[in-house]
């Protein structure tokens, strides 16, 4: 079975625009493709459209063929991703996959899959109507237009993967004709090779610096913690070289208040990231909305507790696997109160139990088998 994933993969060093363009740092599409190749005999390839890129690149990343397709970075949404569809559609026609797995409705990928005429599966991520409820967009805002396209896609999609019960229930209520499949993200097996490190008195935040991720809440909570723990550090992973106004303002306030106690790491390679998480006293994730929370799973796998905001899929994962704590939405005082115990004590028994449960339920072999069963169902019904 040949499957073409349409989704995000970080630009590799050999890409001509590596270091110049800020692209999504998430690796979960690559992790799925690797798991499928290793455990389900699926011939997986990935196509990534790169707006603003100067050239195409086809390469192999960790044994998976990945096709980076250059595209203009203007007027894409206003044309309903029409030209993106034509561009990617030509690649699909040449590659002739048996099935397309589109990751997300927030870009062109689901629309392209719909128009390709091929059997396809959609993984829900960045669900606009849920995000826009939590983080209200302006009257004329890209997020509103993205929600319109998302609605178009979800009304016409037959099979969708929900990474969490939380997002499955939200989408299921809004689109009752959609057949939903509960399959979480898997993880990079390399994380299991991360050695143990002595804990430092630090917290780690991982993610894009945008209002949805709640960095303003973290900033206020960190100030409260510093009153009790003056030598506490905050490590930020995911900041960009050319920040948008929210990111620039939040990071400027953090650095102005705490100087070298706030460390900006930018985007890291996986092994570097895993080591940094393993040294922290806790991961802190104050997101206003989150569909899964890969950083939570990675944190628990290296033995670092996760402190997360409630009413998100991250909270669902902490309740499911343990070794973490949950604080109320939009509550800096609750964040500080919930973090404090993890600065003093570790629970080795709970830590080990969480790691074993994640490996059992989210391991590459388990998730690849679920994907294969879904793909076979879709192909039989097409």
Q: Which pair of tokens denotes residue 241?
A: 């070289």
pLDDT digits (tens, 9 = 90+) for 188-239: 999 999 999 999 999 999 999 999 999 999 999 999 999 999 999 999 999 9
Cα–Cα distance, 323 to 192 (Å, whole number):
17
DSSP-assigned letters across all residues of 147-170? HHHHHHHHHH-SEEEESSHHHHHH
**Interacting residues of 40 by C-beta distance below 8 A, sequence separation 6+:** 368, 369, 371, 372
Place of tokens 């650095």: 255
Q: Which pair of tokens denotes residue 193?
A: 């090779």
Please tell me whether residue 64 adopts helix, strand or coil conformation: strand
pLDDT digits (tens, 9 = 90+) for 168-198: 999 999 999 999 999 999 999 999 999 999 9
Q: Are 308 and 251 in contact (CB under 8 A)?
A: no
E strand or H helix at 189 = none
Q: End-to-end CA distance of the chain: give it in Å, rounded.
A: 15
Q: Specify the DSSP class assigned to residue 341.
A: G
Residue 205: which of 256, 250, 143 has the closest Cα? 250
pLDDT digits (tens, 9 = 90+) for 43-88: 999 999 999 999 999 999 999 999 999 999 988 988 889 899 999 9
Alpha helices in the chain (DSSP H): 28-39, 82-95, 109-116, 128-134, 142-156, 165-174, 215-228, 245-258, 270-279, 294-301, 313-321, 332-339, 348-362, 364-381
Please tell me whether residue 100 adopts helix, strand or coil conformation: strand
Cα–Cα distance, 134 to 290 (Å, whole number):
10
Cα–Cα distance, 173 to 154 (Å, whole number):
12
pLDDT on residue 297: 97
pLDDT on residue 142: 87
**Interacting residues of 130 by C-beta distance below 8 A, sequence separation 6+:** 167, 170, 289, 291
Please tell me whether residue 203 adopts helix, strand or coil conformation: strand
Cα 224 to chain centroid distance, Å, stands at: 28
Place of tokens 């030209």: 83
Residue 25 has pLDDT above 90, yes or no: no
Residue 19 has pLDDT above 90, yes or no: no
Cα–Cα distance, 32 to 77 (Å, whole number):
27
Confidence of residue 7 (pLDDT cuts 50, 70, 90): very high
pLDDT digits (tens, 9 = 90+) for 114-150: 999 999 999 999 899 999 998 888 878 889 999 999 9
Please tell me whether residue 232 adopts helix, strand or coil conformation: coil
Residue 280 has pLDDT above 90, yes or no: yes
Q: What is the pTM of this model?
A: 0.94
Residue 1 has pLDDT above 90, yes or no: yes
pLDDT on residue 22: 82
Q: Are 36 and 5 in contact (CB under 8 A)?
A: no
pLDDT on residue 78: 84
Where do the domains of the chain lie, and which CATH numbers do they carry? 2-186+363-381 (3.40.50.2000), 189-362 (3.40.50.2000)
Taking every pair of Cα atoms in the chain, the longest distance, rounded to a whole number of angstroms, is 61
Q: Are 204 and 283 in contact (CB under 8 A)?
A: yes
Residue 301 has pLDDT above 90, yes or no: yes
Average pLDDT estimate for 309-318: 96
Residue 241 has pLDDT above 90, yes or no: no
Q: Are 63 and 19 in contact (CB under 8 A)?
A: no
Place of tokens 């960045």: 126
Q: Are 67 and 88 in contact (CB under 8 A)?
A: no
Q: Are 68 and 11 in contact (CB under 8 A)?
A: yes
How many CA atoms lie less than 13 Å away from 283 in the CB half-sphere? 32
Average pLDDT estimate for 156-164: 97
């Amino acid at each position: 079975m040949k499957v073409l994933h349409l989704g995000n993969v970080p630009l590799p060093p050999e890409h001509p625009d590596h270091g110049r363009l800020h692209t999504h740092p998430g690796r979960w599409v690559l992790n799925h493709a690797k798991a499928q190749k290793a455990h389900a005999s699926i011939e997986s390839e990935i196509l990534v459209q790169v707006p603003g890129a100067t050239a195409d690149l086809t390469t192999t990343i960790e044994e998976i063929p990945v096709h980076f397709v250059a595209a203009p970075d203007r007027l894409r949404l206003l044309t309903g991703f029409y030209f993106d569809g034509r561009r990617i559609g030509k690649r699909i026609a040449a590659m002739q996959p048996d099935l397309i797995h589109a990751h997300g409705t927030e870009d062109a990928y689901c629309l392209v899959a719909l128009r390709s005429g091929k059997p396809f599966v959609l993984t829900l991520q960045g669900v606009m109507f849920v995000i826009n409820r939590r983080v209200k967009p302006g009257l004329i805002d890209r997020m509103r237009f993205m929600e319109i396209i998302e609605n178009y896609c979800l009304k016409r999609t037959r099979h969708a993967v929900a990474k969490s019960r939380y997002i499955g229930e939200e989408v299921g209520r809004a689109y009752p004709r959609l057949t939903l499949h509960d399959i979480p993200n898997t993880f990079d097996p390399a994380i299991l090779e991360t050695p143990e490190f002595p804990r430092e008195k630090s917290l780690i935040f991982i993610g894009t610096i945008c209002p949805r991720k709640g960095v303003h809440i973290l900033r206020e909570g960190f100030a409260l913690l510093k009153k009790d723990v003056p030598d506490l550090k905050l490590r930020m992973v995911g900041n960009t070289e050319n920040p948008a106004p929210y990111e620039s303002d939040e990071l400027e306030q953090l650095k102005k208040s705490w100087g070298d106690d706030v460390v900006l790491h930018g985007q890291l390679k996986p092994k570097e990231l895993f080591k940094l998480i393993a040294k922290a006293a806790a991961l802190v994730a104050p997101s206003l909305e989150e569909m899964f929370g890969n950083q939570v799973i990675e944190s628990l796998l290296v033995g670092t507790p996760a402190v997360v905001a409630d009413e998100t899929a991250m909270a669902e994962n902490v309740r499911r696997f343990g070794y973490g704590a949950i604080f109320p939405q939009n509550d800096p005082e609750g964040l500080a109160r919930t973090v404090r115990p993890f600065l003093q004590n570790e629970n080795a028994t709970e830590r080990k139990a969480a790691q074993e449960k994640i490996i059992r339920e989210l391991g590459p072999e388990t998730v690849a088998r679920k994907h294969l069963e879904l793909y076979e169902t879709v192909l039989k019904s097409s």
